[in-house]
Amino acid sequence: MADWGPVLIAVVLFVLLTPGLLFQIPGRGRLVEFGNMQTSAASIVVHTIIYFGLLTIFLIAIGVHIYAG
């Protein structure tokens, strides 16, 4: 049986945490900007750290598993 939990969690977090899609931290004019479809190097770094932290929590601390087959 294949464990699809890590794949599904990683894809969903990647889509939701894409800088500028839903929100951007730090924004160009403010601390948080919503739906501006722009990005910067600082926001890429911040979103990468948030992504890694959430992925670690969901996969290692909580242990999400989805089996198919």
| Average pLDDT rounded to a whole number, residues 62-68 | 85
Q: Where are the domains of the chain?
A: 2-68
**Tell me, what's the pLDDT at 54?**
94
| Average pLDDT rounded to a whole number, residues 26-54 | 90
Share of the chain above pLDDT 90, in %: 45
Q: Are the C-beta atoms of residues 23 and 15 closer than 8 Å to each other?
A: no
* For helices 5-16 and 41-56, angle between their N-to-C axes, nearest 10 degrees: 150
Distances (CA, A) of 69 to 2, 17, 66: 7, 29, 10
**Tell me, what's the pLDDT at 2?**
87
Phi–psi pair at 24, nearest 5 degrees: -140, 125
